[in-house]
């Protein structure tokens, strides 16, 4: 989430030469996948002994949020500001982001947390003015989570409800850049990022899965379904040897990159500023919903 997609093909190309790229540009699923139900899971706790979808067995669940309450666990599990964003942890215009992230744009109800990006003028405490607000969650709360190796997984519905000021659908859904990723923990001064997915909503079925840690590497995957139509499961098995990316339980990409230091989790719905890929002038809001976030270790 910290660099433009237009850099990624070169990164992937470098890794293809190493032989570590398994599945660039692979179609991985269709709309008939039985795991892709349209509703969030409502149980209060994760199912006993639940394992990563497609990730094998022997995992112990270390940290999670099922988002089945009525408010985000601010300050305990989550914070709304990240060291990845220079303007008070909430805005990053140099990274082609239009939005300033506010806690009030994150709402928890009906078994999921919903992130809402809104076209609204907002002056940050820094004095910088933004034309959009949105929501970011990072696991830096008092009972939050920092990890290096493990399996991180989220079940989510990506960019949807792209609407105008009257609440009517806008056909051109471009301009949104949701992601589920890791960022180096407090005190770590090296780049350790893993992007389980990034979506640019102008081409919503084409996802970017990337390790920015050490050897790095990434894949671009055409998923064969609309990630904004249903909830789907996005995961990464991050080990000392490599990083393996899964979508709905299918291994779709494996790269050599692996972190050497601890990281935090981030869920976000960025608004993309690149001209031509930024929101349609008619667009006033869009959403992303997350059913759960889970992390296991062995
Ligand atoms: Ca849930």
Distance 157 CA to ligand 1 centre (A): 12
pLDDT single digits (tens) 38-56: 677 666 789 999 999 999 9
Distance 152 CA to ligand 1 centre (A): 16
Distance 111 CA to ligand 1 centre (A): 4
Distance 265 CA to ligand 1 centre (A): 17
Buried b (16+ CB within 10 A) or exposed e, 197-226: bbbbbbebeebbbbbbbeebbbbbbebebb
Distance 75 CA to ligand 1 centre (A): 19
Distance 15 CA to ligand 1 centre (A): 36
pLDDT at 39: 76
pLDDT at 7: 46
Distance 72 CA to ligand 1 centre (A): 12
Q: How far is CA 204 from CA 148, 168, 226, 276, in A?
A: 29, 20, 7, 15
Distance 252 CA to ligand 1 centre (A): 25
So where are the chain's domains? 5-297
Distance 189 CA to ligand 1 centre (A): 34
pLDDT single digits (tens) 146-186: 999 999 999 999 999 999 999 999 999 999 999 999 999 99
Distance 41 CA to ligand 1 centre (A): 5
Distance 231 CA to ligand 1 centre (A): 11
Contact 174, 159 (CB under 8 A): no
CATH architecture of 5-297: Sandwich (2.60)
Question: Taking Cα atoms as reference points, which of 215, 161, 207 lies closest to residue 181?
Answer: 207
Question: Which portions of the chain are predicted below pLDDT 70?
Answer: 2-38, 41-43
């Amino acid at each position: 989430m910290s660099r433009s997609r237009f850099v990624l093909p070169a990164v992937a190309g470098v890794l293809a030469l190493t032989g570590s790229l398994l599945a660039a540009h692979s179609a991985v699923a269709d709309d008939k996948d039985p795991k892709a139900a349209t509703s969030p899971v409502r149980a209060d706790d994760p199912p006993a002994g639940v394992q990563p979808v497609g990730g094998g067995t022997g995992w112990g669940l270390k940290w999670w949020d099922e988002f089945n309450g009525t408010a985000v666990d601010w300050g305990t599990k989550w914070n709304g500001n990240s060291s990845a964003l220079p303007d008070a942890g909430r805005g990053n215009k140099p990274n082609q982001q239009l939005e300033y992230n506010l806690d009030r744009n994150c709402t928890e109800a009906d078994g999921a947390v919903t992130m809402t990006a809104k076209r609204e003028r907002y002056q940050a405490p820094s004095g910088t003015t933004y034309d959009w607000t949105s929501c970011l969650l990072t696991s830096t709360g008092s009972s939050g989570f920092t990890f290096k190796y493990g399996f991180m997984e989220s079940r989510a519905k990506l960019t949807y409800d792209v609407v105008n000021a009257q609440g009517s659908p806008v056909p051109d859904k471009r301009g949104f850049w949701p992601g589920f990723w890791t960022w180096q923990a407090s005190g770590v001064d090296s780049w350790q990022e893993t992007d389980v997915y990034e979506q640019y909503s102008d081409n919503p079925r084409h996802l970017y899965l990337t390790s920015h840690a050490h050897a790095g590497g990434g894949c671009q995957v055409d998923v064969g379904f609309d990630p904004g139509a249903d909830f789907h499961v996005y995961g990464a098995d991050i080990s000392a040897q490599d990083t393996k990316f899964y979508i709905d339980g299918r291994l779709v990409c494996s790269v050599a990159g692996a972190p050497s230091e601890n990281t935090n989790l981030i869920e976000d719905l960025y608004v993309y500023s690149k001209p031509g890929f930024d929101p349609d002038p008619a667009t006033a809001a869009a959403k992303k919903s997350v059913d759960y976030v889970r992390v296991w270790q062995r």
